[in-house]
Amino acid sequence: MYQYRRFNNKNGFFQKFGNLDYILLSCLLILGFISLATMYSTDGGEVLFHTRSHFIKFVVFFAMMLVISFINIKFWFSLGYLSYAVILGMLIWTINFGITASGSKRWIDLYFLNIQPSELMKIFIILCLAKYFHRMKSQHVNSFYSICFSLIIIFVPMSLVIIQPDLGTSLLIAISGIVVLWFAGLNHKYFFYSCLLSIISLPIIISFLKPYQKLRVLTFLNPDRDPLGAGYQIIQSKIAVGSGGFTGKGFLKGTQSYLEFLPEKHTDFIFTLFSEEFGFIGSVLLLLIYAIIIYRVIRIGALSRSYFAKLFCYSFGTSIFIYVVINMSMVLGLLPIVGSPLPIMSYGGSSMLATMIGFGIVMSAKTHSQQSIA
Amino acid sequence: MINISDSATKLNSLNRRMFIIATAKIIILGGIVSRLFFLQVKENKKYLTLSDKNRIREWKLPPIRGEFKDYFGNTIAGNFEAYQLHIIPEEVEDFRYVIYRVKELLELTDKQFKRILKKKDEIKPWETLIVSDNLSWEKFSKINNHLYDLNGVKPVISISRDYPYKENFTHVLGYVSQANENDLLTNENIKEKFVPGLKVGKTGLEKSFEQKLIGSNSVERYEVNAYGRRISQLAFQTGDKGETIRLTIDTKIQELTNELLKEKAGSICVMDIYTGAIIAMHSSPSFDPNSFVFGISQDEWQLIRNNPMKPLVNKSLSGNYSPGSTIKPIVALSALENEIINPDFTVQCKGHKNPLELYGQTYHCWKKEGHGFVNLREAMKQSCDTYFYEVARRLGVDRLSVTAKKFGLGQKVFKDVFDNEKSGLVPNTEWKKNALGRNWVLGETIITGIGQGFIQTTPIQLCLMTAQIANGGYKIYPKIVANDDNQYADKFMPLYKKSRNIKIVQDAMFSSTNEVRGTSFRSRLDDPKYRFAGKTGTSQVKKITERDRELDLKTFEIPYEERDHALYVAFGPYKSPRYALSIIIEHGGSGGTVAAPLAKELFKMIVDRHEIRKNYDNKKYLEI
């Protein structure tokens, strides 16, 4: 038995090829196709910059994901701390030499593309923490030292992103980290108490927010207080989604986006446009695709032999779920507006890159599901 | 290396927590789906209308205003094609160059030019900038010749109000001008149809018939984007032109009244005594309503406003005058009706030396030498004041006021057609007690008998009064709109008790104009076809003192404001009366010398025009 497995672990290229999760792959391809179609619609029914760029990014990063999936999961395990440190360095670099756009420094110029390190951090913090907890004995997980160390791992990139400023992404990084802590087995009561604490301290946090962020919170509570100003985005977004109806207005026929009533329609509000054109049915189908993807990711985790792979897959799947939920809730007026892209659907290279790396590692866990990590 | 049992507990805990999370995920997904369902299925209607409201915008175009025609179908207030110059700033490549070029071509003053630039800053770049709203043909063609040089400039022909007869109809029709805030607040209809540059009636019939005249907007429905830029036209809905309103007025006679009242302040009203149709109604001085259509210049406005003859007041309807002797027919009629006197009742008029004296007050007749013994007919003919003092004293003001009101004095003639009409005042004892809190004194009755004191009438009321005497004492309702077919139950109801009394008064008025010593004898027309009957009146604007009586100044020697108003009421042709008129010349002097001669001119034309009017009616019926 053991012999067989050892033999199996050295499996060849074709065997790995056969081990790929084709349901996950086809779901990702469908999602990619949907996102391209939607992007085509945001460009007003023409193949313009956004569609072309999104297409190239999707193809390149999808290919990259396949390459990653053939690399042994052990390699990614060993890369855990290093990659985290590299991204951290990039974040520091951003603060000093970043490209400023619409009031915040988020990008660094890599000559061939501008990259947003904060997006990459959403994945690599999971990788780093998964590696950290992989080695840990269960009785040490709740020790003061390990909690402190893991919180530092979360707080350093988070604060670096906050000062960009980019509240949305820093929250998502924190959530990704916290998800890993949850799966690693941190005591329930810590989560409970910190939840309580954050609710109590919410008013104090709000007083520290920047004026435009405060406005967003106030606007969320009552979008009609300034319908043409701060409340404009959310009101127009709700109108677009609501007017879509059961079957939608039809592909390329979304008046709200076509006539430029929708803000940020390429990025954070892409779901609005999709929902306006494809209606309730389309939206539920899209949700279903996301659900299948997340289910597959978690299933891969469940079938993996190593604790690291399990932890990574569970955390990554849950993080993707949370990104989707936060983005949709925001668009549907259930949460205040925070900058959070919809994975794969939204336009944005760094987000796509990070997501595809994540799926690549998951796929690698699948192809090397019998690999145990010492 | 790794403790197997430890690894197992770790995996256990991981799977347990995964299970908790998975449950939470399903619940949250359900939440999102239900939110989607709520927005897209349950509230779909609401958001669909909101979305349409977002994307569809309507542009209203100014409605085309209905016209006014005179009785014979001549347009007296119409629409004309105004030459305008529009620029859409965003379509102009070099706005500065173009606007300076336009300034050069139109010879705009710096002030006008600045106003245009200011207007440009106020509008969106894709909205129309109206550079000039009423260009002369020369300038319009000049612009057209230079169009190659003026990219984005649009010469436009638009429709605007025109009053071809200028000052002739000003007080009847009123005028139109830009709608202001007040118009929008008071008239729902205007508010609904408002577009920038909409002209609405400000006074007169233009205002009264606003609802009918305004028409309805043409509507252009466009799909617009978030910035309000038009993307595509979805629909065009043609509006209706406002109703055309035909008046009873005869332009020829109206023009004559204007001619007759040139350089004078006053009013002439002419009425059909059977139908109540207003044939002419003019108030002088008048002004050109065309100057208001595109906004009047400050200088012109000051000139009109500060004119001491008050061109802005429609004297026919809102001028309250003491009727003077023109009230005498009513006094006589009232006395006859109440059987206070009979036509043979005689009073001796002794002239200035022996005035009628009551409680220390003296009441003079206008004639220094007195009229001697006069009966009713003589007294009317010579307008003897002493006679009517005595009649009024016997009659009493209350009985007089009943008759006067019956004949239309003291109340609005046109009800609510004109918003500036005054109701005048017919006093009685009760009125004075209520209004002034003092008791009526006999002296006031006496001067009311010659139309002085509290009594106030408007020229149109005097005209109606005369018309109702002329038609044999039957009630009529004056009208100015030709197809006004309001039915009144008491139309043509007799206003008299004995029709003989009316005849007596008519005869007395005839004598006043057509017999020697009559006050308007010099203004008579001898041809029986034109012969008319009338009553002069001279109403004092100031109490005559003993000193004035001694000086006995001629009219032109008295300061303008203190001169008497000259009045004249008449009806004709006497043989078979058809028209009544009233003439008032403010501060003109005596009625017999100033007002009555105008009636002579008028009746000549009125009677001649009657034939044409009759033929026009008949022909019209034939055509149907």
| Rounded alpha-carbon distances, angstroms, from residue A312 to A53, B81, B116, B592 | 30, 80, 69, 117
Is residue A268 in a domain?
yes
Asked whether residue A2 is domain-assigned, the answer is no
**Are A256 and B17 an interchain contact pair (Cβ–Cβ within 8 Å)?**
no
Q: Which positions ≥6 away from B166 have C-beta within 8 Å?
A: B288, B289, B290
List chain A residues with CB under 8 Å of B15: 302
Test A307 with B7 for CB contact under 8 angstroms: yes
Residue B518 belongs to a domain with what CATH number?
3.40.710.10
Predicted pLDDT of residue A38:
93
Cβ atoms A136, A184 nearer than 8 A = yes
Mind spelling out the 3-state secondary structure of B80-96? EEEEEEEECHHHCCCHH
pLDDT the model gives residue B396: 92
Tell me, yes or no, whether B157 and B176 share the same domain.
Answer: yes
Mark yes or no for CB contact A185/B41 under 8 Å.
Answer: no
Shortest Cα–Cα distance, B232 to chain A (Å): 11
**DSSP symbol at B578:** -
CATH number at residue B108: 3.90.1310.10
Closest residue by Cα to residue B574 from B500, B499, B506: B506
CA B501, CA B406: separation in Å to the nearest integer?
A: 15
Q: Which residue range(s) make up the domain with A256?
A: 32-367
Structural domains counted in chain A: 1
Q: How far is B30 from chain A (nearest CA, A)?
A: 10
Same domain, B133 and B275: no
For residue B610, being part of any structural domain is answered with: yes
The CA distance from A96 to the nearest CA of chain B, in Å, is 37
* Count of pairs with CB atoms under 8 A, one residue in A, one in B: 122
- Any idea what DSSP says for residue B65? P
Residue that finishes a domain, picked among B218, B246, B274: B246
Q: Do A185 and B50 touch (CB under 8 A)?
A: no
Q: Does residue B155 sit in the same domain as residue B258?
A: no
Taking CA atoms, what residue in A is nearest to B16? A183
Determine whether the interchain pair A280/B10 forms a contact, defined as Cβ–Cβ distance below 8 Å: no
Q: Tokens 């979305």 identify what position?
A: B51
Whether B40 sits inside 8 A of A302 (CB atoms) is no
What secondary structure, in 3-state letters, does chain A show? CHHHHHHHHCCCHHHHHHHCCHHHHHHHHHHHHHHHHHHHHHCCCCCCHHHHHHHHHHHHHHHHHHHHHHCCHHHHHHHHHHHHHHHHHHHHHHHHHCEEECCEEEEEECCCCEECHHHHHHHHHHHHHHHHHHCCCHHHHCCHHHHHHHHHHHHHHHHHHHCCCCHHHHHHHHHHHHHHHHHHCCCHHHHHHHHHHHHHCHHHHHHHCCHHHHHHHHHHHCHHHCCCCCCHHHHHHHHHHHHHCCCCCCCCCCHHHHCCCCCCCCCCCHHHHHHHHHHHHHHHHHHHHHHHHHHHHHHHHHHCCCHHHHHHHHHHHHHHHHHHHHHHHHHCCCCCCCCCCCCCCCCCHHHHHHHHHHHHHHHHHHHCCCCCCC
From the list B18, B32, B37, the residue facing A183 with the nearest CB is B18
Shortest alpha-carbon distance between residue B233 and chain A (Å): 14
Pairwise CB contact (< 8 Å): A246 & B40 = yes
Contacts of A55 (CB under 8 A, 6+ apart): A36, A39
pLDDT of residue B199: 85
Same domain for B280 and B206: no
B262 with B236, same domain: the answer is no
Q: Which tokens is A187 given?
A: 């005591």
Contacts of A275 in chain B (CB under 8 A): 36, 40
Q: B327 and B227 share a domain?
A: no
Beta carbons of B150 and B102 less than 8 angstroms apart:
yes
Decide: residue B501, CB within 10 A, 0-12 exposed, 13-18 middle, 19+ buried. Answer: buried
B436 with B556, same domain? Answer: yes
In a domain, A10, yes or no: no
* Structural domain boundaries enclosing B198: 59-246
- pTM score, whole prediction: 0.67
Contact B36, A241 (CB under 8 A): yes
Is B25 in contact with A318 (Cβ distance < 8 A)? yes
Which residues lie below 8 Å from residue B275, measured CB to CB, with a gap of 6+?
Answer: B248, B476, B479
3-state class (DSSP) for residue B351: coil
Residues of A in contact with B28 (CB under 8 A): 321, 325
* B51: nearest CA partner in chain A: A239
pLDDT score of A141: 84
Q: Which of A164-173, A215-224, B433-442 has the lowest mean pLDDT?
A: A215-224
Residue B107 counted as domain residue:
yes
The answer to whether the beta carbons of residues A233 and A220 sit under 8 Å apart is: no
- In a domain, residue B304? The reply is no
Nearest-CA distance from A299 to chain B in Å? 11
Q: What pLDDT score does B622 carry?
A: 55
Structure tokens at A320: 């993707």
Neighbouring-strand partners of residue B581:
B270, B570
In 3D space, the residue among B308, B206, B584 whose CA is nearest the CA of residue B424 turns out to be B584
Answer yes or no: is A74 within a domain: yes
| Residues B456, B322: Cα–Cα separation, whole Å | 5
The pLDDT value recorded for residue B278 is 93
Q: Is residue A16 part of a domain?
A: no
> How close B117 gets to chain A, by Cα (Å)?
28
Nearest CA in chain A to B17: A183
Looking at the fold, whether B263 and B121 belong to one and the same domain comes out as no
B85 and B113 part of one domain: yes
Asked whether the CA dihedral B375, B378, B381, B386 is positive or negative, the reply is negative
- What percent of chain A lies above the pLDDT cut of 70? 94
Nearest to B334 by CA among B281, B377, B398, B387: B398
Residue A107: pLDDT over 80:
yes
What single letter denotes the amino acid at residue A97? F
SS3 at position B272: strand
**Chain B residues near residue A280 by CB distance under 8 angstroms:** 36-37, 40-41
Q: Answer yes or no: is pLDDT of A7 > 50.
A: no
Whether B500 is covered by a domain: the verdict is yes
Look at residue B102 and give its three-state secondary structure.
helix
Are B82 and B133 contacting, i.e. CB atoms less than 8 angstroms apart?
yes
State whether A241 and B36 contact (CB < 8 Å).
yes
Contact across the interface for A185 and B7, Cβ inside 8 Å: no
Least-confidence region, from A155-164, A293-302, B140-149, B267-276: B140-149
Determine, yes or no, domain membership for B319: yes
B522 close contact with A: CB closer than 8 A: no
* CA-based radius of gyration for chain B: 36
Instruction: With beta carbons under 8 A apart, name residues in chain A contacting B50.
Output: 239, 242-243
> Low-confidence residues of chain B, pLDDT below 50?
1-2, 624
Q: Is residue B242 domain-shared with residue B281, that is, in the same domain?
A: no
* A371, A306 contact by CB (below 8 A): yes
Residues B409 and B500 in one domain: yes
Kindly state whether residue A234 falls inside one of the protein's structural domains.
yes
At residue B425, the 3 state secondary structure works out as: strand
CB contact under 8 A, A321 and B225: no
Please state, as a whole number, how many other Cβ atoms lie within 10 Å of the Cβ of residue A63: 11
Cβ of residue B12 closer than 8 Å to a chain A Cβ? no
**Residue contact A185–B13, C-beta within 8 A:** yes
Side chain identity at residue B358, one-letter code: L
Q: What is the pLDDT of residue B121?
A: 83
Q: A247 to chain B nearest CA, in Å?
A: 9
> Does the beta carbon of B553 lie under 8 angstroms from any beta carbon of chain A?
no
Whole-angstrom distance, CA of residue B348 vs CA of residue B110: 75
Q: Are residues B210 and B258 in the same domain?
A: no
Would you say residue B174 lies in a domain?
Answer: yes
Min Cα distance A153 → chain B (Å) is 21
Does B38 reside within a domain? no
Chain A residues whose C-beta sits inside 8 Å of any chain B C-beta: 137-139, 182-185, 236, 238-246, 255-256, 259-261, 275, 279-280, 283-284, 287, 291, 294, 298, 301-302, 307, 310-311, 314, 318, 321, 325, 328-329, 332, 334, 374
- Of the candidates B10, B29, B47, the beta carbon closest to that of A185 is on B10
Phi/psi at A190 (5° precision): -60, -45
Q: How far is it, in rounded angstroms, from Cα B129 to Cα B117?
A: 10
Yes or no, beta carbons of B32 and A242 under 8 Å apart: no
Is B14 close to A307, i.e. CB distance below 8 A?
yes
ipTM: 0.90
User: Can you tell me the mean pLDDT for A198-218?
Assistant: 79
- pLDDT tens per residue, range A110-135: 877 788 999 999 999 999 999 999 88
Would you state the pLDDT for residue A225? 66
Number of domains in chain B: 2
Q: Would you give the end-to-end CA distance of chain B in angstroms?
A: 118
Read off the tokens for A304. Answer: 């993996």
The b-or-e profile of A114-153 (16+ CB within 10 A means b, else e) is ebbbbbbbbbbbbbbbbbbbbebebeebeeeebeeebeeb
- Is position B31 within any domain? no
